[in-house]
Amino acid sequence: MTATNVQQALRNVATKERAVTNAWFFKTGPGQYGEGDIFIGVTVPEGRKIATQFKELPLKEIETLLHSAIHEERLAALHILVGQYEKGDTVARKKIYTFYIKHKARVNNWDLVDTSAATIVGGYLYENGEWEQVLKKLAVSKSLWDRRIAIVALHYFIKKDDHVPTLTIATMLLGDKEDLMHKAVGWMLREVGKRDKNTLLGFLKMHARTMPRTALRYAIEHFSPDERKFYMAK
């Protein structure tokens, strides 16, 4: 079971039409956030199925996939890594988390972050009580993808009804210039609100007037029409 086996399996289901669609969808043009990323045209369900078939792939082979120029190979690597983290014991989880942080530069598009950050980074930091130092450092990184990891990782905390870390990191990221970050921050705030609306209302009382409008729209998506109108008018 090697990275080459995974690569061949992905190519067996790839199509040129899907490759073109994915390249457009993930903004691979000059100056766009995914500039230079290469797609071979594998759908997400097909990629997940292949990742399941290779769920016991050794970490060294996962590393090979993660360092591929091919987007779907990196995504498959992360699907496999997430599965191994979820089934691993304490020692295995620490090893996978350390591996992920070491190679986080290869987690370099929003779907790659969103597939993996909550389970691996969020899960590890929640269990080990180390979130503040790690996520604050990621939140001030020059890398868009580091910053997205910082906020998306907190989805794990939100599911555990621990909302303070999300409010802390979201506040740090309100001045971010990237629309992808505005969406991610708003998404996590919305998730907080779904579990504890009063906590979200308290955050909005402090920040609604100044936070990016995209972040605000995402955060209040599940509010009533009148409530949305109220906050968007601020």
What pLDDT was estimated at residue 1? Answer: 84
- Predicted pLDDT at 234: 75
State what percent of residues in the chain have pLDDT above 70.
100
Residue 140 is which amino acid?
V
36 secondary structure, DSSP code: T
Report the distance separating Cα 83 and Cα 100, nearest Å: 13
* Per-run averaged pLDDT (10 residues), the chain, 234 residues: 95 94 90 91 95 96 96 97 97 97 96 97 94 96 97 98 97 96 98 97 96 96 95 87
d(CA 153, CA 61): 25
Task: Name the pTM for this structure.
Answer: 0.93
- Please list, in sequence order, all residues whose beta carbon lies within 8 angstroms of the beta carbon of residue 125, skipping any fewer than 6 positions away: 131, 134, 135, 153
pLDDT digits (tens, 9 = 90+) for 94-123: 999 999 999 999 999 999 999 999 999 999
Cβ–Cβ under 8 Å, residues 107 and 117: yes
